């Protein structure tokens, strides 16, 4: 019997969608192979960890940004060092051309900007190919970057025609949207901890959001809307009840570190923090 042995598929961290299964089955039929065992991403393998689809979660964020857009509103997009790129792309697209001038730029600090450049460069090349011109040799600094491309059916642009080349990965241009000038845009990528904490239970941090705005663009914004895309948005009844929280926060007094303005002072900023059920991991229902 010359049949090849069944393949073991290890997904790593992934978000399952039906077209991924269809794509794998099609590849197996074409290659004459069979899948024996699948090792899934079971990060959220608990019944209470159910999420909306990524597309609906991303749409809810981008639609809200577009509806609330104002030059004096700062939008904070909470991210880890890597991940949630779909949210960033959708936010940029939502405001591009709004008021006729917005370019859809995303502010990122130097470390996050460097990570997004890495993502763009990795997705612009076939998986496993290093930065150097030869896939078998390291680049000058020894760095090798290999970011797997998603199944063709799962790419935004759709399948290529037979015999054609793969369409560009949607993340391949994300670094071109990044600026390190915080005054150039009101879409800011921030660490997950800025807008609040999730453990031991969800708690929004209005003060941190206000301080961030004042430190990056003093006095420019009178409203802040922070989004926390997380797989734990609906993990508890508390999280669901408190998914949208608002507060009016007094600004810090200039020249007096840590001092808050008096309660009757009108120099305040309105802060809104929103939990959104988004993750790069498969939810329980999908598993």
- Digit-coded pLDDT (tens) for 128-150: 555 544 433 333 333 333 334 44
Query: For 64-81, how does the pLDDT look when each residue is reduced to its tens digit (9 = 90+)?
Result: 999 999 999 999 999 999
Q: Which pLDDT score is estimated for 200?
A: 85
Q: Torsions phi, psi of 165, nearest 5?
A: -85, 160
Q: Which pLDDT score is estimated for 106?
A: 97
Q: Which pLDDT score is estimated for 77?
A: 98
Q: Which pLDDT score is estimated for 48?
A: 82
Q: Which pLDDT score is estimated for 142?
A: 30
Query: For 193-243, how does the pLDDT look when each residue is reduced to its tens digit (9 = 90+)?
Result: 999 999 988 999 999 999 999 999 888 999 999 999 999 998 899 999 999
Q: What is the DSSP letter of 176?
A: G
Regarding predicted confidence, which is higher, 43 or 157? 43
- 84 vs 244: CA distance, rounded Å: 20
Q: Which pLDDT score is estimated for 7?
A: 85
Q: Percent of the chain scored above 90 by pLDDT?
A: 52
- 158 vs 151: CA distance, rounded Å: 10
Burial 96-135 (b: 16+ CB within 10 A, else e): eeeeeebebbbbbeeebbebbebbbebbebeeebbbeeee
Per-residue pLDDT averaged across 184-193, rounded?
96
Residue 176 in tokens: 């071109």
Average pLDDT, the chain: 83
Query: For 97-131, how does the pLDDT look when each residue is reduced to its tens digit (9 = 90+)?
Result: 786 667 899 999 999 999 999 999 988 876 555 55
Residue 263 in tokens: 């309660």
Q: Percent of the chain scored above 70 by pLDDT?
A: 79
- 20 vs 159: CA distance, rounded Å: 12
Query: For 37-46, how does the pLDDT look when each residue is reduced to its tens digit (9 = 90+)?
Result: 888 888 998 8
Q: Which pLDDT score is estimated for 157?
A: 41
Pairing verdict, β 203-204 and 196-197: antiparallel
Cis peptide bond N-terminal to 222, omega within 30: no
Read off the pTM: 0.81
Per DSSP, the residues of 27-73 read HHHHHT--EEEEE---TT-STT-----HHHHHHHHHHHHHHH--TTE
Helices (H), the chain: 18-31, 54-68, 85-95, 110-123, 206-216, 237-241
Whether the Cβ atoms of residue 127 and residue 146 lie closer than 8 Å to each other: yes
Q: Which pLDDT score is estimated for 138?
A: 35
Regarding predicted confidence, which is higher, 33 or 113? 113
Whether the Cβ atoms of residue 121 and residue 127 lie closer than 8 Å to each other: no
């Amino acid at each position: 019997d010359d049949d090849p042995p069944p393949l073991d598929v290890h997904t790593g961290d992934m978000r399952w969608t039906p077209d991924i299964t269809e794509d794998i089955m099609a590849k197996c039929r074409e290659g004459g192979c069979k899948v024996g065992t699948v090792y899934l991403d079971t990060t959220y393998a608990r019944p209470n960890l159910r999420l909306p689809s990524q597309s609906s979660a991303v749409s809810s964020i981008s639609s809200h940004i577009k509806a609330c857009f104002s030059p004096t509103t700062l939008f904070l997009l909470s991210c880890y060092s890597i991940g949630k790129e779909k949210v960033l792309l959708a936010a940029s697209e939502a405001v591009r051309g709004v008021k006729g001038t917005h370019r859809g730029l995303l502010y990122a600090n130097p470390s996050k900007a460097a990570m997004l450049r890495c993502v763009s460069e990795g997705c612009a090349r076939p998986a496993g190919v290093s930065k150097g011109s030869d896939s078998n040799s390291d680049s000058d600094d020894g760095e090798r970057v290999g970011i797997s491309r998603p199944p063709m059916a799962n790419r935004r642009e759709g399948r290529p025609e037979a015999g054609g080349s793969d369409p560009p990965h949607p993340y391949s241009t994300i670094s071109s949207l990044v600026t390190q000038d915080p005054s150039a845009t009101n879409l800011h990528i921030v660490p997950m901890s800025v807008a609040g904490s999730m453990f031991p239970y969800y708690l929004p941090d209005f003060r941190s959001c206000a301080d961030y705005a004042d430190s990056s663009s003093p006095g420019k914004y009178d409203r802040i809307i922070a989004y926390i895309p997380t797989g734990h948005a609906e993990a508890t009844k508390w999280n669901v009840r408190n998914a949208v929280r608002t507060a009016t926060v007094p600004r810090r007094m200039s020249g007096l570190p840590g001092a808050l303005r008096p309660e009757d002072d009108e120099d305040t900023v309105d802060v809104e923090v929103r939990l959104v059920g988004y993750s790069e991991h498969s939810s329980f229902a999908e598993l």
